[in-house]
Chain A
Amino acid sequence: MKATIVIKAIVLMTLVVDEISRAYCKHREGKYKGTHWWGIAKAGEPNNLAPMTPGLMLMDSSSLMLLRNKQRRMIREHPGVLQAISKGVNMALQECQHQFRNRRWNCSTKNFLTGKNLFGKIVDRGFRETAFIYAITSAGVTHAVSRACAEGVIETCTCDTTHQRRGPYIQNSVPGVKDWEWGGCSDNIDFGYKFSRMFVDTGERGRSLREKMNLHNNEAGRMHVQSEMKQECKCHGMSGSCTVKTCWMRLPIFRSIGDNLKDRFDGASRVMVGNAGGLRRLRSKDNAQNKHYEQDQQQDQQEQLQDQLTEQQSQQNGGGGGGGGRGRRRGGGRNRYNFQLKPYDPQLKAPGTKDLVYLEPSPGFCDPNPRLGVLGTHGRVCNESSIGLDGCDLMCCSRGHKTHQALVSERCNCTFLWCCEVKCSVCQYRKTVNTCL
Chain B
Amino acid sequence: MAGGVILENLSGKKLFVLVSSLLFCQLACFLIGGLVAPTPSATDMVLASKCLYNHSNPWSYIRGEGKCFSYQSDIYKDSPVANTMANDIIFTFQIPTPRDGQTLDYSRWQQYLIGVLNFDIEYHIDTKMDRNLELTLDTKLGYRNVGDKDGDWKLFATSVEKRNLDCVSEEKIDGHNYQCGLVPLFELGSLHHDYYLINIKIPVDERNGINFGLGHLKDVWLVVINQNGGFTSVWLYMKTIFFPFIVAIMIWFWNRVHMLARKPVLLERMLMTIGFALTLLNLPVEFLTLSYDMPFMLLLQDIRQGIFYAALLSFWLIFAGEHLMIQDSHQKNLQTYWKHLSAVAVGCISLFVFDICERGAQLKNPFYSIWATNSGTNLALTFIILAAISGGMYFLFLSYMIWKVFCNISARRSALPSMSNARRLHYEGSIYRFKFLMIATLLCAALTVIGFILGQASEGHWKWNETNNLNYASAFLVGVYGMWNIYIFALIVLYSPSHKHWPSEIDVNNSSSDTIEFSRLPTEPTEMSSLASFSRKPAFD
Contact = CB atoms under 8 A, between A and B. Distances in A.
Contacts of B214: 416-418
Nearest to B176: A255
Interface in B349-364: 351, 354-355, 358-359
Contacts of B99: 155, 157-159, 176, 180, 185
Residue of A156, A176, A181 with most chain B CB atoms under a 10 A cut-off: A181
Residue of B101, B127, B467 with most chain A CB atoms under a 10 A cut-off: B101
A175 B126 CA distance: 50
B109 interface: yes
B38 A245 contact: no
Interface stretch (A13-21, A208-216, A246-254): A246-254
Contacts of B78: 411, 421-424
A420 interface: yes
B355 A291 contact: no
Contacts of A419: 74, 83, 85-86, 89, 202, 204, 217
A420 B215 CA distance: 11
Interface stretch (B393-401, B413-421, B458-466, B525-533): B458-466
A275 to B, nearest CB: 37
B228 A416 contact: no
A236 B225 contact: yes
A152 interface: yes
Contacts of B518: none
B100 interface: yes
Interface string B438-474: 0000000000000010011001101101110001010
Contacts, number: 214
B63 interface: yes
A245 B453 CA distance: 12
B127 A181 contact: no
B456 A242 contact: yes
Contact of B182 (A46, A157, A176, A232): A232
Interface stretch (A23-31, A161-169, A391-399, A401-409): A161-169
Given A182-B38, A184-B43, A416-B76, A243 B452 contact: yes
A412 B39 contact: no
Contacts of A1: none
Interface string B200-211: 001010100001
A149 B96 CA distance: 12
B202 A418 contact: yes
B44 interface: yes
Contact of A176 (B35, B75, B102): B102
Contact of A164 (B85, B97, B306, B465): B465
Contact of A247 (B72, B74, B102, B462): B462
Interface residues of A, number: 66
A182 B227 CA distance: 9
B190 interface: no
Residue of A184, A253, A424 with most chain B CB atoms under a 10 A cut-off: A184
A416 B217 contact: yes
A163 to B, nearest CB: 5
Given A157-B99, A239-B351, A152 B302 contact: no
Contact of B47 (A147, A180, A248, A414): A147
Contacts of A176: 99-100, 102
Contacts of A253: 120, 176-177
B243 interface: no
A250 B462 contact: no
Given A184-B42, A291-B466, A238 B306 contact: yes
Contacts of B73: 420
B212 interface: yes
Contacts of A245: 455-456, 459, 473
A106 interface: no
B240 interface: no
A150 B47 contact: yes
A247 B182 CA distance: 12
A234 interface: yes
A147 B82 CA distance: 31
A54 interface: no
A185 B301 CA distance: 26
A419 B219 CA distance: 12
Given A167-B230, A417-B206, A422-B77, A181 B110 contact: yes
A183 interface: yes
A61 interface: no
A347 B161 CA distance: 62
Contacts of A185: 42, 44, 99
Contact of A184 (B75, B85, B228): B228
Residue of B74, B79, B98, B477 with most chain A CB atoms under a 10 A cut-off: B98
Contacts of B465: 163-164
B497 interface: no
B361 to A, nearest CB: 13
Interface string A221-250: 000000000011110101110111111111
Contacts of B228: 182-184
A239 B202 contact: no
A406 B204 CA distance: 38
A242 B104 CA distance: 29
B124 interface: yes
A13 to B, nearest CB: 54
Interface in A136-182: 147, 149-152, 155-159, 163-164, 166-167, 175-177, 180-182
Residue of B94, B216, B473, B477 with most chain A CB atoms under a 10 A cut-off: B216
A327 to B, nearest CB: 13
Given A188-B45, A420-B83, A152 B94 contact: yes
A256 interface: yes
A249 B43 CA distance: 10
Given A163-B465, A417-B204, A234 B116 contact: yes
A234 B126 contact: no
Q: Which 9 A-B pairs have the closest CB atoms?
A: A184-B42, A183-B38, A159-B99, A182-B230, A422-B76, A155-B98, A151-B47, A248-B43, A150-B47
16 contacts: A155-B101, A157-B100, A181-B107, A182-B229, A182-B230, A184-B41, A184-B42, A234-B182, A234-B223, A236-B114, A239-B355, A242-B456, A416-B217, A417-B212, A418-B202, A418-B211
Given A182-B38, A243-B477, A246-B41, 17 more contacts: A150-B47, A152-B98, A155-B63, A157-B98, A182-B230, A184-B39, A185-B99, A188-B45, A236-B225, A239-B355, A247-B43, A253-B177, A414-B124, A416-B216, A417-B86, A418-B204, A421-B78
Interface of B: 35-36, 38-49, 62-63, 72-79, 82-83, 85-86, 89, 94, 96-102, 104-105, 107, 109-110, 114, 116, 118, 120, 124, 126-127, 175-177, 182, 187, 202, 204, 206, 211-217, 221, 223, 225-226, 228-230, 301-302, 305-306, 351, 354-355, 358-359, 452, 455-456, 459-460, 462-463, 465-467, 471, 473, 477
